[in-house]
Amino acid sequence: MSIRTVEKLGRVYHAGALRPRGTGGGHPRSAGNVDGVTEPDLTTKTVVIGAGQAGLSVAFYLRRLGLEPGEEFVLLDRGPGTGGAWQFRWEALRLGSAHRVNDLPGMDELGLSFETADHHAPARDVVADYYRQYEEHYGLQVVRPATVTHVEDEGHHLLVRLTTENGPLELGTSTIVNATGTWGSPFVPWYSGRDDFAGRHVHTSDYVAAEEFAGQDVIVVGAGTSAIGFILELEPHAASITWATRRPPEFLNEGELNLEAAEHAVAQQDDAARAGRALPSIVSGTGVPRTRRVQAALDRGILESRGMFERLDADGAVWADGSRQHADAIIWATGFRPELRHLAPLRLREKEGGVTVASHRSERDPRVFFAGYGPAASTIGANRAGRNIARQVVAQLSRMGR
């Protein structure tokens, strides 16, 4: 190509002004349809979907292996700014109160590390700032905001359909790295009477601040670090807090995530991905570190689970023994599911509910790689997957003669 792909996308990718070639903005030029195959507006060798930790890690290694950012691979991100899912997290969340955020590969070259980051500043601001500096330093040229709506198989290429501030666009590619993670697909389990509840339903993805629940009776559902964080933040504000969990919370004796437990959790994810099953919860395989803050809360008796309620009604929750708890709000810290809707046209999903992925590659389509799924779906596995995926992408391109 004589003109960089990202320059064709508008050159001002940070401002989000995506314009396909031959237009002045608004609607894309019709690229044509030859023998029933859509000819895309633009083409590139690899499209990385998602610029969170997993996507940036893959992009770093693709660049190191010789692919040029913005030309031979294009990094798309739905968010308005840097930071991946972290940019959407609540203001009170601090780095020290969440699972460890691993440094991106090559971050030391910038003199940055989350180990020495400001743990008093909002985590979302710290991560967004570090990721911004990282993208700029390595010239990754992330195209944002750009939402991928569909990925289709056109035979000789994969067609990525995306929407931008200036309308729809089509991008042809030989390979795809899906690094969308889970934030865009929040999960709320169904319980009888859930839709009858007269109070407010709030998922982790909707949570803003504990002050919103001042003087209210709140039920927090979930056994992970987010649920615990909400309880601790709500303690000085809510009238009452009831903790509901399906299984007793497992508090580790260690003050931080145990590496052996982490390896076990990643192995569980990998086994499920290889079998095409729905993925298990990361926290179910790791437990919750017993930090000083958590231990103090345990000593105060604030972190005592009542077990899981059986059903909901207009007033609140009802347990199997008939006991009730009034609630003005229910906070569902029940996690997320992999965000894969845009890949539906490729028919990768199995009857068991998952996508069969071995060594980060789709078993059904070798052109599709996953950097935000299975063992690479969390901060535990995202970085280690980056180098492996990048190498496989380059090898696949070589086999395809591209």
> Could you tell me if 20 and 114 lie in one domain?
yes
> Could you tell me if 175 and 206 lie in one domain?
no
Backbone phi and psi for residue 318, each to the nearest 5 degrees, phi listed first: -125, 125
> Could you tell me if 135 and 212 lie in one domain?
no
Residue after which a domain boundary falls, among 332, 348, 371: 332
Please tell me the predicted confidence (pLDDT) of residue 385.
85
Residue after which a domain boundary falls, among 332, 358, 378: 332
> Could you tell me if 67 and 30 lie in one domain?
yes
Helix (H) or strand (E) holding 289: strand 288-289
Domain assignment present for residue 96? The answer is yes
Please tell me the predicted confidence (pLDDT) of residue 335.
87
Domain assignment present for residue 189? The answer is no
- The pTM for the full model equals 0.80
Give the other-Cβ count within 10 Å of 12's Cβ: 12
> Could you tell me if 135 and 232 lie in one domain?
no
Domain that holds residue 289: 194-332
Tokens of 35: 């023998």
> Could you tell me if 21 and 158 lie in one domain?
yes
Tokens of 330: 């229910």
Domain assignment present for residue 160? The answer is yes
> Could you tell me if 27 and 157 lie in one domain?
yes
> Could you tell me if 154 and 79 lie in one domain?
yes
Backbone phi and psi for residue 340, each to the nearest 5 degrees, phi listed first: -130, 10
- Spatial neighbors of 272 by CB under 8 A, at least 6 apart, are 278, 279, 280, 354, 374
Vertex 346, ends 341 and 350: CA angle to 5°?
75
> Could you tell me if 52 and 156 lie in one domain?
yes
- Distance, in Å, from the CA atom of 126 to the CA atom of 380, rounded to the nearest integer, reads 19
Domain assignment present for residue 317? The answer is yes
DSSP 136-192: HHTT---B-S-EEEEEEE-SSSEEEEEEETTEEEEEEEEEEEE---STTSB-----T
Q: Tens of pLDDT along the chain (402 residues)?
A: 334 555 555 543 333 333 343 333 333 333 455 455 556 768 899 999 999 999 999 999 999 999 999 999 999 999 999 999 999 999 889 887 656 788 999 999 999 999 999 989 999 999 999 999 999 999 999 999 999 999 999 988 999 999 988 889 999 999 999 999 888 889 999 999 999 999 999 999 999 999 999 999 999 999 988 899 999 999 999 999 999 999 998 888 764 544 444 555 555 544 544 455 554 555 544 577 888 889 999 999 999 999 999 999 999 999 999 999 999 999 999 988 888 899 999 998 877 667 788 888 888 999 999 997 655 554 555 677 899 999 999 999 999 987
End-to-end CA distance of the chain: 13
| Helices and strands per DSSP (H, E), number in the chain | 8, 19
Domain assignment present for residue 90? The answer is yes
Please tell me the predicted confidence (pLDDT) of residue 84.
92
> Could you tell me if 146 and 45 lie in one domain?
yes
Domain assignment present for residue 120? The answer is yes
- Distance, in Å, from the CA atom of 166 to the CA atom of 186, rounded to the nearest integer, reads 28
- We report the CATH number of the domain holding residue 11 as 3.50.50.60
Residue after which a domain boundary falls, among 317, 332, 347: 332
**Total of domains in the chain:** 2
Please tell me the predicted confidence (pLDDT) of residue 64.
96
> Could you tell me if 198 and 273 lie in one domain?
yes
> Could you tell me if 311 and 234 lie in one domain?
yes
One-letter amino acid of 2: S
**Is beta strand 147-153 parallel, antiparallel or unpaired with respect to 158-164?**
antiparallel
